[in-house]
A and B are shown apart, each in its own frame.
Chain A
Amino acid sequence: MKKALVIQEDIIILNILERLVTLNHYECRAIRSLNDLNIEDQQVNFDIIISDILFDGISPLDFVFQIQEIILHKSLIIVTNMGQLNVRLEVLASKNVDGFFAVPLNMNLIEKLIA
């Protein structure tokens, strides 16, 4: 079974994404911030990570780099409240980001991307 990791501070979006991912035949781990990550998680090679970029004490771009460094994964999708154009461009320019969705968003697009 494919494995997915969802990181979202907003619990409503987190729950919706968790279900969406699970319904698309992934084994899903849903957490609210990187602090909730445990040691086992860090040894898993996730097929997909769906993450926010807005967290306390770290800039969006640094967060993307941090994820790329500490968690093994195949693709990374950003779902965030922070949809300003410059942030979007910066994050997309950093490579290895496969999608950037800012709220309001259509979940069907994410579904297409991960199916």
Chain B
Amino acid sequence: MINIFLIVLIKIFAVVLIMLWVTIGVSIVYRRRRTKNLLLIEKTFAEVISKHLYPYPGEELSLVEIQRIFRNVGIIPSKPRNVQYLIDLMIRTQRSLLGENYEKLVVLFNQIPPYGASVSKLKSTKWYVKARGIREIYEMDQTRYVKEVIKERNNRNIYVRREAQIAMVIFLGWESLRFLSYLKREMTLWQQIKIVEKLHDLYPEPNLQYLRRAYESEKTYANELIMRIIRKFNLITEVDYILQFVDNRNFDTRESAIYCISSFYLSNSQLKLLKEKYFKVPNVSQQIQLLKYIDKISFDKDLEFYKKLLYTADDIIKLSTAEILWNNGYKEEVQEFYYQQYTNQSLKVEDSL
């Protein structure tokens, strides 16, 4: 009885083992063929692109020929993974070229078949497919789909709307700021930074007209984004905008305002305003940041301002103020403050002795 049981067990075990080997074998063969196939696509693509950009005399490829070559290596709608690989190659190539060649590629990619793949991704219900489609459209600079992309700017999924907003900046540049007041959802810090960077890379010439129109927006993310733009483009004339947020109620807005204003020098009247606002900032560490900044940019030290701080503010701020005064040669003021602090206590000490 036990023998039979053991034999059955061994049989089952052997079957499982053989199945495992077969799977491994199949997977090895599949992967080898797949890699070979992808390499072939890459090589063909490289040949086609180089021929298209720099044809030898009498060797120009027509569109039909290009399409036929791609079809022969397996770029057909029924093999979406091959198509995706080709799109990745296109993006990679377009990213590494500038000038005339770039223009030529934009035109070419508009005309060869797999391109429709990116737009059809926008119709997908899966967010990652959608986001990828949008990214492909803007990476390949396919301007004719701007409308479809902009529609996604308020998408429920953060990644989809993030890509759509980046696409807007890439396609519309400074004009895209006019959408700022109409965005329905929050914009993360990361997203703001990315937009500022893209704007700076692609549209280095600031357009104040669109920027000023966006000033009216009351959303916090919009304010923060505009402040970051002012800082990045070093728009000295627009510093007043940042200044108004230094004592904002919202911690993050204040933080951005202090961060952004730190890269500017202020005029006397602006400095005066900042000192007035200083007392309304409700956070000690932010006040210290501001104090250091004020010290950095003011040439003549405003003794009155510092004295006011020395006698009324928080202990840590007092310490920083004293440090600034001491380093700027106002030793007597610091000493005076020090002694008045201890007059009563020192008397007490003497009493107890």
Interface residues of A (CB under 8 A from B): 10-16, 18-20, 22-23, 81, 103-108
Q: How far is the CA of A16 from the CA of B46 in the complex (A)?
A: 8
Q: Does B43 contact A (CB under 8 A)?
A: yes
By a CB distance below 8 angstroms, the chain A residues around B100 are 106-108
The smallest beta-carbon distance between A10 and chain B, in angstroms, is: 8
Inter-chain contact B46/A14, CB cutoff 8 Å: yes
Q: Which residues of A contact B102 (CB under 8 A)?
A: 104
Residues of the B chain whose Cβ atoms lie less than 8 Å from the Cβ of A14: 46
User: Is the Cβ of A19 less than 8 Å from the Cβ of B89?
Assistant: no
Contact B45–A12 (Cβ < 8 Å)? yes
Enumerate chain A residues within 8 angstroms of B339, measured Cβ to Cβ.
none
Q: In the bound complex, do residue A16 and residue B54 qualify as a contact, i.e. CB atoms below 8 Å apart?
A: yes
Nearest Cβ in chain A — how far from B150, in angstroms?
Answer: 25
B188 an interface residue at 8 Å Cβ cutoff? no
Taking CB atoms, residues of chain B closer than 8 Å to A22 are: 56
The reply to whether A11 and B46 form a contact with Cβ atoms under 8 Å apart is yes
Hey, which chain A residues are within 8 Å of B99, CB to CB? 106-108
Main secondary structure, interface of B, reads helix
- Tell whether, in the assembled complex, residue A103 and residue B51 are in contact, meaning their CB atoms are under 8 Å apart: no
Q: Do the beta carbons of B53 and A12 come within 8 Å of each other?
A: no
Of all chain B residues, which has the CB nearest A81?
Answer: B96
The residue on A at minimum CB distance from B54 is A19
Using Cβ atoms and an 8 Å threshold, which residues of chain A touch B98? 104-106
- Please, which residues of chain B bring their CB within 8 A of the CB of A104? 95-98, 102
* Contact status A13-B53, CB under 8 Å: no
Q: Which B residues are within 8 Å of any A CB, using their own CB?
A: 42-43, 45-47, 49-51, 53-54, 56, 89, 92-93, 95-102
Q: Are A23 and B96 in contact (CB under 8 A)?
A: no
Tally inter-chain residue pairs, CB-CB below 8 A: 59
B46 x A12 contact (CB < 8 A): yes
User: Which chain B residue shows the least CB distance to A23?
Assistant: B54
Q: How far is the CA of A14 from the CA of B45 in the complex (A)?
A: 12
18 sample A-B contacts, Cβ–Cβ < 8 Å, listed by A number: A11-B43, A12-B42, A12-B49, A14-B46, A15-B47, A15-B50, A16-B46, A16-B50, A19-B51, A19-B54, A20-B54, A23-B54, A81-B96, A105-B96, A105-B97, A106-B98, A108-B99, A108-B100
Interface residues of A, dominant DSSP: helix
Give the CA-CA distance A10 to B45 in the complex, in Å.
12
* Closest CB in chain B relative to A52 CB, distance in Å: 12
- For B59, give the chain A residue with the smallest CB separation: A19
Q: List, in ascending order, chain A residues with CB within 8 A of B46's CB.
A: 11-12, 14-16
What separation, in Å, do the CA atoms of A37 and B50 have in the docked complex? Answer: 23
B47: nearest residue on chain A (CB-CB)?
A: A15
The minimal Cβ–Cβ distance linking B74 to chain A, given in whole angstroms, is 18
Task: Note all chain A residues with C-beta closer than 8 A to B54.
Answer: 16, 19-20, 23
Cα A103 to Cα B54 in complex, Å, equals 18
Query: Which one of A11, A15, A23, A106 contacts B56 once the chains associate, using CB atoms below 8 Å?
Result: A23
Which residue of the partner chain, among B42, B50, B96, contacts A103 with CB atoms under 8 Å? B96
Q: Please, which residue of chain A has its CB at the minimum distance from the CB of B51?
A: A19
CA distance A26 to B43 in the complex (A): 23
Q: Which of B43, B51, B92, B98 counts the most chain A CB atoms within 10 A?
A: B98
How near does chain A come to B45, taking the closest CB pair, in angstroms? Answer: 7
Structural contact, A13 and B47, CB atoms closer than 8 A: no
Query: Once bound together, how far apart are the Cα atoms of A14 and B93, in whole Å?
Result: 11
Bound: A23/B49 CA distance, A: 15
Give the 9 A-B CB pairs with smallest separation, nearest first: A106-B99, A103-B96, A15-B50, A19-B54, A15-B46, A106-B98, A12-B46, A16-B50, A11-B46
Besides A16-B46, A103-B95, A104-B102, 6 other CB < 8 A contacts?
A15-B46, A15-B49, A16-B50, A16-B54, A18-B50, A103-B97
**Contact yes or no, B96 A13, CB < 8 A:** yes
Bound Cα distance from A107 to B52, whole angstroms: 14
Looking at the complex, which one of B42, B43, B53, B92 makes contact with A19 (CB distance below 8 Å)?
B53
The answer to whether B49 touches A107 (Cβ under 8 A) is no
* Chain A residues in 8 Å Cβ range of B47: 15
Cα distance A14–B99 in the bound complex, in angstroms: 18
Contacts of B101 in A (CB 8 A): 16, 106-107
CB-nearest residue of chain B to A111 = B54
